[in-house]
Amino acid sequence: MNALLDLPEQHAQVLLFLIDKIPPAGLPWALTGSAGLRLQGLDISVNDLDLQTDAQTIYVLEQKLAGFIKTPVHVWQSEHMLSLYGQAQVNELQVEFMGDVRHRSPADIWEPSVDIASVRIWLTWRKLQVPVLSLNHEALAYEKMGRTQKAELIHSAIKKDVL
């Protein structure tokens, strides 16, 4: 599948750097958040780059981005989500990475994290293969975070593509 919209140039340059530094074919990570949604056709603004991975690979990302780390990997928790979280800054752009993401269930227990390879899809962008989380997975994740407006926006995009 081809990317449907491009990223702002600063974001594109940082994504090219990340793909070179952390080849996605060899590690289970995917672009998520606004940048991943934009590449899949949602005409939304992009403020940063978000990468999602597993509990082991997040430390590989941290190591490969060692000179750019602003927030070392640590456990992060909100009302709806629990994950490992780290932050880097590359060319003045914030890059957030999350590993072992878990959502709180209606029964108030943490659901198991999802296998990234099972929910990522590959887009051709600037002649490169870029892993992004599928729109279906993104919509479900935003619903679980209580961000219903964003989830509805994604569901609308899915329906337009299906029709």
Other C-beta atoms closer than 10 Å to the C-beta of 153 total 16
Token pair belonging to 89 = 């800054």
Phi, psi of 119 (to 5 degrees): -120, 0
Token pair belonging to 30 = 């995917």
Other C-beta atoms closer than 10 Å to the C-beta of 70 total 13
- Alpha carbon distance 141, 109 (integer Å): 16
pLDDT at 162: 52
Length of the chain: 163
| Domain made up of 9-157: CATH architecture | 2-Layer Sandwich (3.30)
pLDDT in tens, the chain (163 residues): 888 899 999 999 999 999 999 999 999 999 999 999 999 999 999 999 999 999 999 999 999 999 999 999 999 999 999 999 999 999 999 999 999 999 998 889 999 999 999 999 999 999 999 999 999 999 888 888 888 898 898 888 888 765 4
Model confidence, pTM: 0.91
The distance from CA 20 to its chain's CA centroid, rounded to whole angstroms, is 17
Token pair belonging to 144 = 């679980």
Confirm if 30 and 51 have CB atoms less than 8 A apart: yes
pLDDT at 163: 43
Q: Which of 3, 11, 2 is nearest to 39 (CA)?
A: 3
